[in-house]
Amino acid sequence: MQNERARAEVLAALEAVDLVAIFEEDTPINLITKVRPSVLVKGGDYIREQVVGHEIVEAAGGEVVLVEILQGHSTTSLVARAREGKA
């Protein structure tokens, strides 16, 4: 499994991503309150009501997006493939 920094670097390299933040609290609620993202993305193994900060984002006119989890496409596997020159 890749560490959080490696996963953050993969995500930050995506053109559609403006900010990736690593936080030390149990939840990102303080960060979400400060940053007020227009889009908050979480894996499809959650439902909207389970996403921490969904109320804050939506109250500000933002959107919570749940993305499908695809086998073999985790940040861990992407980093591993990149290191092997297969990405």
Asked whether residue 71 carries a pLDDT value surpassing 80, the answer given is no
Match 């939506």 to its residue by tokens.
Answer: 58
With a pLDDT cut of 70, the percent of the chain lying above it is: 80
Mean pLDDT of all residues belonging to the chain: 84
Amino acid at 12: A
At a CB cut-off of 8 Å and minimum separation 6, what does 58 contact? 64
- At 15-50, the pLDDT tens digits run 888 888 898 999 999 999 999 999 998 888 889 999
How many structural domains are present in the chain? 1
Query: What is the average pLDDT across 54-75?
Result: 85
Range of the domain at 59: 4-83
The 3-state DSSP class for residue 85 equals coil
With a pLDDT cut of 90, the percent of the chain lying above it is: 40
